[in-house]
Structure 1
Amino acid sequence: MKIESKGLISLEINGEIYDYKLYQSLDSLSRTKSQRKSAKELNISHTVFNRRLLKAEDKLGVKITQKIGNGTHLTADGLKLLEEFRKYLIQIEKTSSINIAGGHISTGLLESIETPFDINIYSSNDEDAFKLAKRGVVDILTLDDPLIAYERDINFMPIAYDYLVLVSSPKSRNVESISDLEGLDFVGVNGSAQRLAWNSLRHYDIKFNIKDTVNSQFDAFKIVRNSENLYTFLNASYFKGNELLKYDTQHVISVIKVNEDKPEVDEFVRYLLNDAQKSIGKQGFTPMG
């Protein structure tokens, strides 16, 4: 898709103009995972909401939503479109707001908790978010995995703990011990903390195969749930699964202050480390301390 900004909050994609209403729909659906809930949130009928998505899909020529269980999730193309809208919003937003970019898990956490701050959140993967931070587009960088910070000797502040669980289809072979992982086929997720799982398997001398790689944990979940004898490791804060490598894959969800000249940035980080810890715990993460 060829994407360009057009007007105040419209994007031109392959010659077609998509306005703020589509952005609102995608943004709401990314949080609610329900067309009916999003329609209610936007104060429109479910029919109008659904028609808006179908019209966009028809123009784009790609699917931007997909049914998973009883919910509706954004596809990789839907997430890409939403991310482009958010990126453009960040670039035009007033400087009084706190602009945040980061991995899907860490930004999803910040989106799920109530804060007294005016924040704009751009969700992608750690690598793409880091590129935005280097350009000075955002005030705070959040990381699903602190690897980027470790590699570059960047100071980061942990705000929560998470770990990985093994996820598969009910039809897949049951895994009860680490030795049962020998020779299994996996779906990888770019920019996630899965490196911890792969390193652990190598440490235990377990041979395994990464058969496919996707950009979203939700895409990986859909693939393995609909496949027999295909597995993946996903964040326990969002998915239920086998905790076989819980202690091997425990890691921090962290933030990095990019714009240290803005007082609101320090205030927001202090809030996350103190007042927000109870809310963070309620979202399935392990709070600090």
Structure 2
Amino acid sequence: MEFESKGLISLEINGEVYGYRLYESLDSLSKTKSQRRSAKELNISHTVFNRRILKAEEKLGFKLTKKVGNGTALTQEGLDLLEEFKKYAIQIEKTSTINIVGGHISTGLLESIDLPFKTNIYSSNDEDAFELAKRGVVDLLTLDDPLIAFERDINFYPIAYDYLVLVSSPNSKKIETISDLENLDFVSVSGSAQRLAWDSLRHYDIHVNIKESVSSQFDAYKLVRDSKNLHTFLNASYFKGNELLKFDTQHVISLVKVNEDKTEVNDFIKYLTNEEGQKTIEKQGFTPM
């Protein structure tokens, strides 16, 4: 098996994430039995190759390589680690079904449209979805907010625009201006695009009180709906509300390749970004790119 993917495929061991570079090094060494030949094959210096192995051994607490005559071979632990990575790679490559994990809004969009692909879609918040994607057990990551990708310089593919609306309890006072938000009680949603609303309120020097924090926009909506005087900011594609901060909170719904070599993933992204896919997205209440 060739280690050509430059995506997020990795294994997590005792809280440490080991990426594809370590595994392509182990794979090469298992064949060449020479660090120098493997370094040349990977187009890196022998020093860099050796440091990569030593750094991993220090974190893992066991040896990955051993001297054999004039060459270098993998220890049994090194072979076991390489085998674990191959299992993950095989798991991703062996089926045409696209395994997707992502934020509640972006996965909800994908679930609501009739896609010409076989998919398994798992919904979470952006932060938890990203942690799962780092393990390499899915093919595609969807983001309700591109912040995670921006912070880590990860390439992403925009598929739609969305913005936030103010949703208030049925009997709360009418909000007409931004200043009317001063000292009101809010429900926050972790791992969502709400950061744009909070940043905007700070910009306008408006103070609000965060009374509850939930992980789903739908949970936030229920809390606000059933309360006497609570408010929240939710995605306009799914909820109706006051467009007070529409232009301040516009953001991109996007996709990140996890399994870069899977043909179906590339075809999936092409479909969503072409004219037919964009029309389908627009019908779901999102603004096309």
TM category (shorter chain) comes to 0.5 to 0.7
Equivalent-residue separation in structure 2 for 1:217 and 1:257 (angstroms):
25
Equivalent-residue separation in structure 2 for 1:94 and 1:115 (angstroms):
21
Q: Alpha-carbon deviation of 1:94?
A: 5.4
Aligned residue identity for 1:280: I
Aligned residue identity for 1:124: S
Aligned residue identity for 1:255: L
Task: Kindly report which structure 2 residues correspond to 1:90-239, keeping only aligned pairs within 5 A, or say none.
Answer: 95-239=95-239
Q: Which residue of 2 aligns with 1:265?
A: 265
Is 1:280 the equivalent of 2:281?
A: yes
CA pair 153-114 structure 1, distance change in 2 beyond 3 A? same
- Aligned to 1:276, what secondary structure does the other structure show? helix
Is the contact made by 2:92 and 2:139 (CA closer than 8 Å) also made in structure 1? no
Aligned residue identity for 1:282: K
Equivalent-residue separation in structure 2 for 1:250 and 1:209 (angstroms):
23
Percent same amino acid among aligned pairs? Answer: 79
Q: Alpha-carbon deviation of 1:152?
A: 0.3
Q: Which residue of 2 aligns with 1:83?
A: none
Q: Which residue of 1 aligns with 2:23?
A: none
Deviations 1:134-193 (A, max 9, x none): 110111100000010011011111100000000012200110000101111100011110
Aligned residue identity for 2:280: S
Q: Alpha-carbon deviation of 1:92?
A: 9.5
Q: 5+ residue gaps in structure 1?
A: 1-90
Q: Which residue of 2 aligns with 1:75?
A: none
Deviations 1:114-145 (A, max 9, x none): 11111111111111111111110111100000
Q: Alpha-carbon deviation of 1:109?
A: 0.3
Aligned residue identity for 1:268: F
Q: Which has the higher contact order (CA 8 A, sep 6+)?
A: 2
Which 4+ stretches in 1 moved above 2 angstroms?
91-95
- Aligned to 1:286, what secondary structure does the other structure show? coil
- Aligned to 2:187, what secondary structure does the other structure show? strand
Q: 5+ residue gaps in structure 2?
A: 1-90
- Aligned to 2:165, what secondary structure does the other structure show? strand
Highest CA radius of gyration, 1 or 2? 2
Aligned residue identity for 1:285: F
Task: Kindly report which structure 2 residues correspond to 1:81-96, keeping only aligned pairs within 5 A, or say none.
Answer: 95-96=95-96
Equivalent-residue separation in structure 1 for 2:94 and 2:278 (angstroms):
28
Deviations 1:197-235 (A, max 9, x none): 000000000011111101111111111111122100000
Aligned residue identity for 1:284: G
Q: Which residue of 1 aligns with 2:55?
A: none
Task: Name whichever of 92-101 and 250-259 sits farther off.
Answer: 92-101
Aligned residue identity for 1:176: E
Equivalent-residue separation in structure 2 for 1:156 and 1:170 (angstroms):
38
Is the contact made by 2:169 and 2:225 (CA closer than 8 Å) also made in structure 1? yes
Q: Which residue of 2 aligns with 1:18?
A: none
Structure 2 length-normalised TM:
0.67
Is the contact made by 2:278 and 2:288 (CA closer than 8 Å) also made in structure 1? yes
Equivalent-residue separation in structure 1 for 2:206 and 2:122 (angstroms):
37
Equivalent-residue separation in structure 1 for 2:139 and 2:170 (angstroms):
43
CA pair 109-195 structure 1, distance change in 2 beyond 3 A? same
Aligned residue identity for 1:287: P
Q: Alpha-carbon deviation of 1:93?
A: 10
- Aligned to 1:232, what secondary structure does the other structure show? strand
Equivalent-residue separation in structure 1 for 2:115 and 2:214 (angstroms):
32
Equivalent-residue separation in structure 1 for 2:100 and 2:262 (angstroms):
13
Number of aligned residue pairs: give it.
198
Structure 1 length-normalised TM:
0.67
Q: Which residue of 2 aligns with 1:254?
A: 254
